[in-house]
Amino acid sequence: MKISVPDHIRSLKPYVAGKPLEELEREYGITDAVKLASNENPLGPSPMAVKAVQDSLETMHRYPNGGSYELIGRLSNRLKLNRENIVLGNGSDDIIALLAQVLLQAGDEAILPRPSFLFYDIVIRGCGAIPVGVPLKSHSTDLDGMLARISSKTRLIFVNNPHNPTGSLISRESLETFIAALPTNIVLAIDEAYFEFVKDRGCPASIDYLQSDKIVVGLRTFSKAYGLAGLRVGYGLMPSFLADLLNRVRQPFNVNSLALAGAIAALEDENFLTETVALVHDELAFLYRGLDDLAVEYLESQANFCLIRVAKNADEVFEDLLKQGVIVRSMTSYGYPDCIRVNVGRRHENVRLLEALKVVLK
């Protein structure tokens, strides 16, 4: 059947997610595979969130309105922001897509670091807009380079702090200089998906710039440090006029009732969050020691993952590691054909990774 589809949709390449464990186990007949490919929480979900989701099963015939009200209220208390500054999403992916939908028209430009999280590119192109990729400088976001690429067509800028996939940070000083130099008609989205893992006390938080005279948006998620990637809950922090626009186009019930119940409980489970962050820091250090022993290069990371230079074809290393029952992410699609990205697992998973790397890179 011939239907008319815009070229900018037809030419999109779908987002490729990390390979699921079950798929690997099915394909290779393995039973104890380890997945370190999607920057998920090594501890699993918060037990309090699991209980809350179980408790809310009985009311899943209801639309989820009340839960959104409550979660926004809790976030508003915690972050000391008005409710009107918070938009909930089906993962922070949802907010990323909503920002593009609200701000971008065909021919507009949006600036992003290259490489960075692949979904930015998809949503920009999906609006018929033009992604303007600015190469990293010494593995970090090049804010001066981004300023230099601003044109009369620029509407939106994405940065991620910490940066995916390098784990690098934008310093407070450089972010403030950047924001000061931004025109007032451009929206800066600071994606803080890995913010909770940051060790560096000097790391700036998007929330500190929401009241500035520039339009700054913060993106946060329950998928990583809160362990709820499968439930899909994220949120955006932004000026109320922009939140109002996102609320006009978002699906009325974009976050489901189980996800809301889980997120409300996870937010209260401070022990789980502390345990998660401590484990990630300890295990990153363990991974660095193991990689040093193998004489394999890596970038020290402020997130829960680490970019490793395998100095070989990353797609082949990915396949070889699969055969060892370890799923990582080849960084070829990110423009690093000799690197893989792994997220920190529990100790036995990290040991498996190091043993498998030893075999594969020998």
Ligand X SMILES: Cc1ncc(COP(=O)(O)O)c(C=O)c1O
Does 191 sit near ligand X (CB under 6 A)?
A: yes
Q: Which of 161, 223, 257, 350 binds ligand X (CB under 6 A)?
A: 223
How far apart CA 289 and CA 285 sit, in angstroms, is 6
Beta bridge partners of 130: 109
Candidates 150, 229, 294, 361; binder of ligand X (CB under 6 A) is 229
Cβ 273 vs Cβ 226: under 8 Å: yes
CA–CA separation, 103 vs 57, rounded Å?
A: 37
358: three-class secondary structure by DSSP: helix
What whole-number distance in Å separates Cα of residue 187 and Cα of residue 216? 6
For residue 15, give the H/E element and its range: none
Torsion of CA 186, 191, 192, 198, to 10 degrees: -90
Nearest-angstrom CA–CA distance, 334 and 65: 38
Residue 39 vs 256, nearer CB to ligand X: 39
Contact status: 39 vs ligand X (CB under 6 A): yes
In the region spanning residues 273 to 312, those forming contacts with ligand X, defined by CB under 6 A, are none
Minimum CB–partner distance for residue 45 and ligand X (Å)? 13
The CB-of-116 to ligand X minimum distance in angstroms stands at: 7
User: Could you give the 3-state DSSP secondary structure of residue 235?
Assistant: strand
Minimum distance from CB of 76 to ligand X (Å)? 19
Q: Does 164 interact with ligand X (rule: CB under 6 A)?
A: yes
Window of 91-99, 202-210, 326-334, 353-361 that interacts with ligand X by CB under 6 A: 91-99
Judged by CB under 6 A, does residue 196 bind ligand X?
Answer: no
Does residue 121 belong to the site contacting ligand X (CB under 6 A)? no
Residue 117 or 336 having the CB closest to ligand X: 117
| Closest approach of ligand X to the CB of residue 222, in Å | 7
Minimum distance between the CB of residue 44 and ligand X, rounded to whole angstroms? Answer: 16
**Dihedral sign computed on CA atoms, order 168, 347, 319, 93:** negative
Query: Does the protein bind ligand X through residue 160 (CB under 6 A)?
Result: yes
Cβ of 151: how many Cβ atoms within 10 Å?
Answer: 10
* CA atoms within 13 A of residue 268's CA, in its CB half-sphere: 15
- Among 56, 85, 206, 221, the residue binding ligand X under the rule CB under 6 A is 221
- Binding residues (CB under 6 A) for ligand X: these are 39, 91-93, 117, 160, 164, 191, 193, 221, 223, 229, 234
